[in-house]
């Protein structure tokens, strides 16, 4: 069984630019959740996708958007990057059973300069 | 906004010590409590998902208890080893959204 893969692992962008982060889900999982972890904080929920539809959203502005594809992989897009967007972005896949745990990727470290 | 608190923030112990950490969460509308272990440069790894008040789960030297009525969970590590060094995250899922809200984690360092 394959795990969750995120790409790229590290990224440096300039303020105002746009970025796309990618995530594959674990085999058998149809739900993908994205979290942002800023320095010194716990992971903050951005949004979740279930069968290609957004299934929940945290307190993030609309410039954070996402997609899920038929193979359940997912993208996180951030427009008009701000310095505060510098963080570790974690992707996690799960089954549709809410009581199941998440399988996480190792994250994408985004630095905005 | 759901408040999930973990204490202590960090912990240094000697090899062989037993240790425990706390996760506090809202005591209403409980659905599930997750524990994850996150080693440096790796992915967070699920340890336990607990759903019933009074649940006790065990995995090797690590165990966890759950009290949903008072809103806390304890994670215990018996006979800590250097390879237990990691950040331990808990996450609370309410019956409304089912989406876990994470605490800031407890960083454990086990000295040989």
Q: Please indicate whether, in this complex, the C-beta atoms of B46 and A48 are within 8 angstroms of each other.
A: no
d(CA A23, CA A4): 7
Task: Find where tokens 């997750």 sit.
Answer: B34
Mean pLDDT of the residues in chain B: 95
Q: Which residues of B touch A100 (CB under 8 A)?
A: 49
**Sign of the four-CA dihedral A24, A25, A30, A35:** negative
A43, B89 contact by CB (below 8 A): yes
SS3 call for B7 = strand
B11, B1 contact by CB (below 8 A): no
Instruction: Express each pLDDT in B40-83 by its tens digit.
Output: 999 999 999 999 999 999 999 999 999 999 999 999 999 999 99
Instruction: Express each pLDDT in A22-61 by its tens digit.
Output: 999 998 899 999 999 999 899 999 999 999 999 999 999 9
A91, A105 contact by CB (below 8 A): yes
Per the structure block, which two tokens stand in for A26? 């674990």
CB-closest option in A4, A44, A98 to B32: A98
Q: Please indicate whether, in this complex, the C-beta atoms of B104 and A40 are within 8 angstroms of each other.
A: yes
Mutate to test the interface with B, among A101, A104, A106 (most CBs of B within 10 A): A101
A89, A34 contact by CB (below 8 A): yes
């Amino acid at each position: 069984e394959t795990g969750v893969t995120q790409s790229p692992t590290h990224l440096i962008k300039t303020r105002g630019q746009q970025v796309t982060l990618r995530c594959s889900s674990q085999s058998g999982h149809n739900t993908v959740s994205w979290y942002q972890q800023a320095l010194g904080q716990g992971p903050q929920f951005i949004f979740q996708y279930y069968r290609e539809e957004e299934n929940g959203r945290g307190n993030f502005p609309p410039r954070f958007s996402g997609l899920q594809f038929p193979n359940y992989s997912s993208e996180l897009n951030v427009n008009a990057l701000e310095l505060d967007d510098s963080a570790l972005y974690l992707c996690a896949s799960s089954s549709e059973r809410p009581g199941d745990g998440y399988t996480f990727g190792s994250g994408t470290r985004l630095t905005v300069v | 906004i759901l408040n999930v608190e973990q204490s202590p923030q960090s912990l240094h112990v000697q090899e062989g010590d037993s240790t425990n950490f706390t996760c506090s969460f809202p005591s209403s509308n409980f659905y599930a409590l997750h524990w994850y272990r996150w080693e440096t440069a790796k992915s967070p790894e699920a340890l336990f998902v607990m759903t019933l008040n009074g649940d006790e789960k065990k995995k090797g030297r690590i165990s966890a208890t759950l009290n949903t009525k008072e809103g806390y969970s304890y994670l215990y590590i018996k006979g800590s080893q250097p390879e237990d060094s990691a950040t331990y995250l808990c996450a609370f899922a309410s019956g409304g959204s089912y989406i876990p809200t994470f605490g800031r984690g407890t960083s454990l360092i086990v000295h040989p």
